[in-house]
Every structure is written in C-alpha cells, then in structure tokens.
Amino acid sequence: MRTIRFRDETGIARNGELVEGTIEAGNRTYDVESVETLPPCEPTKVVCQAGGYMDHREESGFEDLPERPELFLKGPNCVSGHDDAIELPPGKDLVEFEAEFGIVIGTQCRDVDADDAMAYVEGFTCVNDISNRDDQAEERNWVRGKAFDGSLPIGPVIATPDEVPDDATLQLRHNGEVKQETTREMMIFSVPELVADVSRLITLEPGDVIATGTPYGPDALSDGDVVEVEFEGVGTLRNHVTSR
C-alpha cells in the first residue's frame, strides 16, 4: 500500500491510497496530478543519520567505520513535500542535495530490539536532506547547516514495507542527470539496527521519520534547478530550487 496526504479542491487536507495515479479516499477518487500533494506524514521530529554510507564518509574525509549511528535532529519546520520549492538560504554559496531513504514510524517506539524494530515501522518514503555547507562546517550541532525552514523535502507517499524490496534502489537526478545511486544493502547499519539504536535514546512517535544518511555524490544547488529523488517501490520526490 502507498498512502498519500493531499489537499482537495475545497482546501481540506485528506489521506488516501495511491493506486496507479489515482487517489482513493473514502468513497471518492482523485487524479493525483490534479491535487496539491502534502508531506505524507507530520513528524514531531526527524532523526537523521550522518555518514550512513562508507563511500560518503570517505569523500568527506572519514575512513573509520562508526561503532554506532551518528545522529542529529531536524524539526517539523524543516519538512516540505513533493513539488514544494527548495528555498536557498540567502547569502550562502554552497547548498547541496542529499538523497536518503526515509523510515516512517507507525507505532510509539521506545527501547526496542533490532529483531522487533520493523513492527514499529509504518513504511518508507523519499528524503532530500538539503544542507547548507557554509554554516555546517562552522558548527558542531549543525543547526544552521541542516535545520533551516524547508530543508527536508519528503514524499510523495509512504510505502508499506511489503512494497519495497530489500535491495531497493535510491537514485537522485539533478536537472535530469543521475548524481547519486545506492541500495539499502549498502547502508552501514540496517533499518532495524537504526530504528533500535534511535529508540534507546529518543521515544519515536507515529509519523516521526528517520533519515538514513546519504551515499556518495552530494552536489551544489542553484536557483532554477530541479532535483528528483526516486526510491524503488515508493516513487519520485520532485522539487524545484528558488532563491529566497
């Protein structure tokens, strides 16, 4: 199942199931191209993993293998949806895309074991962790570099785990050119391991998102760019870039 949030013709936010381009919501159907797509969930927090892939760690100058996931937070203010604009922070020279797998929590999750972790997962979504490198390099907590408004497009849907192959491919296209590509199998920590680790530190609520980190290849964004994150089994998250 692929669930979607959208705004209907009256402006009301609704939930539905996306089936081959048609949204089924109650006793009505909607053409997905004719409605405003909203972020597929409303997280109270987004827990992000830094350096979740060895190839990205190496290009960032870190060759060590972490003993546990390295984490940081983004707030609800960061979340935007499919087709929303990515606004570049004013006065910044280097703002980059980061394609990531997104894990969406379905049930309150605290102190769980990896063997049980998938029971708390509603599904998966696409994530683009927009990163302001100018400020990120100067801060230890990455608030200015990572947590600015609209810096986390997610969507367009949540796909239940049965829809997503274990070797699902993640691909990012920048103005139509493939810039990043990986699979879940390339992650340093598996999805269950990551959920379990976070749950020992932070109580996860329904709708919260864990962003699993980006592979090799983040690159700079410019006004007018179009960036697409495609997650096999989920769909394609598309955003255009504007200057604020």
Q: Are residues 54 and 20 in the same domain?
A: no
How many secondary structure helices (H) and strands (E) does the chain include? 4, 19
Report the pLDDT value the prediction gives residue 140, as an integer from 0 to 100. 67
Report the pLDDT value the prediction gives residue 59, as an integer from 0 to 100. 78
As to burial, measured by CB atoms within 10 angstroms (0-12 exposed, 13-18 middle, 19+ buried), residue 218 is buried
Q: Are residues 67 and 169 in the same domain?
A: yes
Report the pLDDT value the prediction gives residue 232, as an integer from 0 to 100. 97
Contact 120, 107 (CB under 8 A): yes
CATH of the domain at 12: 2.30.30
pLDDT one digit per residue (tens) for the chain, 244 residues: 999 999 999 999 999 999 999 999 999 999 999 999 999 999 999 999 988 887 777 877 777 788 999 999 999 999 999 999 999 999 999 999 999 999 999 999 999 999 999 999 999 999 999 999 988 877 767 888 999 999 999 999 999 999 999 999 999 999 999 999 999 889 899 999 999 999 999 999 999 999 999 999 999 999 999 999 999 999 999 999 999 8
* Tally of residues, the chain: 244
Domain, as residue range, for 239: 39-243
Cα–Cα distance measured from residue 194 to residue 214, given in angstroms and rounded to the nearest whole number: 14
Q: Are residues 49 and 22 in the same domain?
A: no
Q: Are residues 19 and 60 in the same domain?
A: no
Write down the pTM of the prediction: 0.95
CATH of the domain at 149: 3.90.850.10
Q: Are residues 78 and 189 in the same domain?
A: yes
Show the tokens assigned to 42.
Answer: 């409303």
Contact 62, 51 (CB under 8 A): yes
Number of folded domains that form the chain? 2
Q: Are residues 30 and 82 in the same domain?
A: no
Cα–Cα distance measured from residue 128 to residue 238, given in angstroms and rounded to the nearest whole number: 10
